[in-house]
Amino acid sequence: MFKKFNNDIKALKVELLKNIKDNLKEIDNLVNIKNKTYDNFIHPLSDLHDKVNFSFGMIAHQDSVNNSDLTQKIIDEVLPSFSKYQTSISYDTRIHNGYKYIKKKYYKILDDEQKKILDNGIFNFRISGADLGDDDKKRLEFINEKLSKLENEYSQNVIDDIKKYVMIIDNYEDVREIPKNDLKSAKFEKNGKTYYKFTLAPPSYESYITYGSNRAKREEIYKAYCTRGHKNTKVIDGILALRDEKAKLFHFQDYASYTNAFKDAKSVAIVENFLEKLSLKSRKGARKELKELKKFAKYDVQSYDVAYYSERLRAKNFDIDEEYFQNYFEKTATLRGVLDFLEKSFSIKIKKTNTEVWNDKVDVFDFYKNNKVFGRMYFDLESRKGKKDGTWMDIFGTSCIDGDKNTHLASALITCSFPVSSKNSPSLLKHSDVETLLHETGHGIHHIFSKVKQRDISGVNGVKWDVVEFPSQFLEQFAYDKDTLKIFAKHYKTSQILKDKDIDKLIKAKNFQSAMELLKQCELSIFDIKLHKRLYQGNQVQELLVNIRKKYSILTPPKYNRFQNSFFHIFSEGYSAGYYGYQWSEVLSADLYLESKKQNIWDKYLRNVLYQGGSKNMGELFFNILGREPRYEALLELRGV
């Protein structure tokens, strides 16, 4: 059975608080069971936690996709109770002792999944504070509650700045290079005069920073974009101080070392060495790419010029007309094409279904294997007012068997910020949007394809943070695969399939400025790691970023750039001291993709990765597919660095 969606956020608040209260009472009963077993103790606990996590997840989802004063008010109201509940459970000595009791008495007769749950649980209890003294537990509870509030405040500050900013242009010369469909979305009439409106929402911002003819206007919107979250300096100080204190409660030297305990990489030093190697490999190529760009632009290119001149140079070198290609990637047809690609690759069927959603532009699809439904995916793809910018996948139910032997089916929520459609204008995607759609869908299938019976290691649950991007990055590679593109790259008016010569252009242009991009990602990952290796406060955060840029960057941003104030990934989305995971995972995805060009790996990938969820370490699962360790060089080879 699937979870049912509830749009009533007030009812969800009541449900969440009731579930927390009921759970605490039920946990008191469970810990008093004398002969604890997996079935009468661990399984019921998982079911109880799922009720609370699901209710809070739905509230957080509504706040992300339909942000309002009400959603923010309710988030603020429930966060303290939710954080307190999460923290109290994570270090409850009674539960911890129950896990240890079951391991000692029944470990040998448990199956592999149950053993994994038990081992993970004991480790998580230890690392979450179960062995701390009473005073330290109280302090940890305060830290976690305060961190939740600050991370939410950080995110809301960025959203508020996005909502406030508007750039109005009344001169057509300033927008003449913008693709027609983007221009149509920006255009409005007032008092008989034509104006063009641009905001910091991704489709709008990216449109002007990439195609805006007026350099001053490009800098204006760039400055607004890179100073989003202007209130976050003190919020960052609070987050970093609490993270540092939390790490030291557990006797770790720093927060980076603390989070590494949850990662695939064996040490922070190994991660730093990995990033240093990538930086050195990519810096030479990046310098060459920037030199070419400056020569083309005929003057000293600044940060707000890069996207504009890069697009013009890309078009010149590869004869790429972004607007031309957009006509072949209409949102609805492209989504259906991606699903057709999945059907063909995994021998499944995917059918559109009707169920309650939070916006009338959300599409829902059920996934079938051998005529039996096994999962569901929700696609909320268009940008709109009150919707957080960016792209992500959320869990909406996990495939498992609960303590009462009921079977639950998995659902995933795919959220993007693609161009807005209207009655007279479809949503036409850039090719980079197609990459994004495949990436997030990769996360989605990783979750819903799971055949693991235990909820806490089914789908993306239990997958280590620095390898969770592997399935999404692997699927993303097929945005440049000719056979795949021919499935869904069709002109939205004529249904003509994109020609081979045009696909070849996209493939040739794939690694355009790839060294610059890789170096930039390494820079951000290094900043993230170093930021969490000691306690930085106030101006020290900006100074650290400036010093890292001096060493690694080939183009210094303007002094007003405050990227850290809107770095969602590490301050509000769980990637703290783990942003490097994108590159770490890309080694796996690049290697597997290159191998897929030599042999059919889909069935092995399905059985050894997607079916397995978090039941085994990703390194072991990768080895089971190819019979060897991943090749570090594959990342560089695929990027052409």
Confidence class for position 180, pLDDT limits 50, 70, 90:
confident
Residue 147 lies in a domain: no
Is the model's pLDDT at 456 over the cut of 90? Answer: yes
Closest CA to 572 of 229, 250, 246: 229
Residue 128's alpha-carbon distances to 87, 101, 247, 261, 588, in angstroms, are: 8, 19, 10, 11, 29
Is the same domain home to 336 and 192? Answer: no
What does the pLDDT read at residue 87?
A: 86
What does the pLDDT read at residue 555?
A: 95
CB hemisphere CA count around 324 (13 angstroms)? 11
Is the model's pLDDT at 404 over the cut of 90? Answer: no
For residue 102, the enclosing domain spans 9-90+92-131
Is the model's pLDDT at 203 over the cut of 90? Answer: no
For the chain, the domain total comes to 4
Is the model's pLDDT at 390 over the cut of 90? Answer: no
Is the same domain home to 598 and 617? Answer: yes
Residue 112: give its domain's CATH number: 1.20.1050.40
Mean pLDDT of 317-323: 85
pTM, two decimal places: 0.84
The single-letter DSSP state of residue 5 is P
> In this structure, are strands 193-198 and 349-352 parallel, antiparallel, or unpaired?
unpaired
Is the same domain home to 51 and 110? Answer: yes
Q: Which residue type is seen at 345? A: S
Confidence class for position 322, pLDDT limits 50, 70, 90:
confident
Domain end point (choices 509, 530, 561): 509
Q: Is 221 left (phi over 0), alpha (psi -120 to 50) or beta?
A: alpha
* 169 phi/psi in degrees, rounded to 5: -120, 135
- Residues 85, 90, 91, 93: is their CA dihedral positive or negative? positive
* 168 phi/psi in degrees, rounded to 5: -105, 130
Is the same domain home to 493 and 569? Answer: no
Mean pLDDT of all residues belonging to the chain: 94
Is the same domain home to 545 and 601? Answer: yes
Cα(401)–Cα(316) distance, rounded to whole angstroms?
A: 56
Is the model's pLDDT at 77 over the cut of 90? Answer: yes
Mean pLDDT of 95-121: 96
Is the same domain home to 357 and 460? Answer: yes
Is the same domain home to 86 and 201? Answer: no
Is the same domain home to 369 and 499? Answer: yes
539-587 per-position pLDDT tens digit = 999 999 999 999 999 999 999 999 999 999 999 988 999 999 999 999 9
Cα(411)–Cα(469) distance, rounded to whole angstroms?
A: 18
Cα(7)–Cα(11) distance, rounded to whole angstroms?
A: 9
Q: For residue 291, what are its two tokens? A: 């030199």
Domain end point (choices 485, 509, 533): 509
What does the pLDDT read at residue 641?
A: 86
Query: What angle (nearest 5°) sits at the alpha carbon of residue 575, between those of residues 569 and 581?
Result: 110
Cα(607)–Cα(449) distance, rounded to whole angstroms?
A: 10
Q: Which residue type is seen at 57? A: G
Is the same domain home to 443 and 583? Answer: no
Residue 530: give its domain's CATH number: 1.10.1370.10
Confidence class for position 120, pLDDT limits 50, 70, 90:
very high
Q: For residue 601, what are its two tokens? A: 């790996």
The single-letter DSSP state of residue 454 is S
What does the pLDDT read at residue 434?
A: 97
CA quadruple 225, 226, 230, 232: dihedral, nearest 10 = 120
Is the model's pLDDT at 389 over the cut of 90? Answer: no
What does the pLDDT read at residue 1?
A: 78
pLDDT-wise least confident of 21-25, 87-91, 324-328, 424-428? 87-91
Is the model's pLDDT at 485 over the cut of 90? Answer: yes
Is the same domain home to 629 and 503? Answer: no
Q: For residue 248, what are its two tokens? A: 């030291």
Domain end point (choices 80, 114, 131): 131
**407 with 413: CB under 8 angstroms?**
no
What does the pLDDT read at residue 383?
A: 92
Mean pLDDT of 495-515: 93
Residue 141 lies in a domain: no
